[in-house]
Amino acid sequence: MTTLVCIGSAEATSPTEIALSEKSVLTITDDGSSAGYVTISWAGKSDAELKTPASTEYQLQIKQQSQSDDDYKTIYQGRDNATTLSGLENGNYQLRLQSAEGVWSEPLQISISHHALNKALAFFAIGLVLFLSLLILIFSPSHKSESE
């Protein structure tokens, strides 16, 4: 389960949103933290009112929580309003977003924890037993029609 925490004085409209300046919000839209991925999206709250062009460039950065503040790595730079991060190892991460105005959002903290290996192997074993049972049922001679 992902733990989302507002760090600093950002106003959150829900537990998964952090305000970016006065017009944008950084949001987790697909929480696959137990599978090692998460989808982040952002959009201006009042883009239509401010007539902000859709071509606004954004920069999304990530760092592991144990690293120093200058260890942020840029993982996305462009005009889209969402990105999916995958291949994340177990751990706590901080994400921040910069809009064309140059204002950084307050960091959004996420926690990634994959399914335990024993749980994954147990599901695999159950699936294997069901698959083999189905094969035996399909190919067993007792299920041939009586007219043969």
27 within domain boundaries: yes
Residue 109 has pLDDT above 80, yes or no: yes
73 within domain boundaries: yes
Q: How many domains does the chain fold into? A: 2
Predicted local confidence at residue 142, as pLDDT: 74
139 and 67 belong to one structural domain: no
Predicted local confidence at residue 129, as pLDDT: 98
94 and 135 belong to one structural domain: no
56 within domain boundaries: yes
Per-chain mean pLDDT for the chain: 74
The H or E element containing residue 126 is helix 117-139
Query: How many Å apart are CA 130 and CA 148, to the nearest integer?
Result: 29
Q: Is 128:120 a contact under the CB 8 Å cutoff?
A: no
Nearest C-alpha neighbor of 44 from the set 33, 35, 53: 53
C-alpha separations of 53 from 49, 59, 77, 136 in Å: 11, 16, 16, 62
Query: How many Å apart are CA 148 and CA 141, to the nearest integer?
Result: 11
Predicted local confidence at residue 128, as pLDDT: 98
10 within domain boundaries: yes
* This model's pTM is above 0.85: no
98 and 138 belong to one structural domain: no
Query: How many Å apart are CA 35 and CA 88, to the nearest integer?
Result: 9
Residue 16, domain extent: 5-112
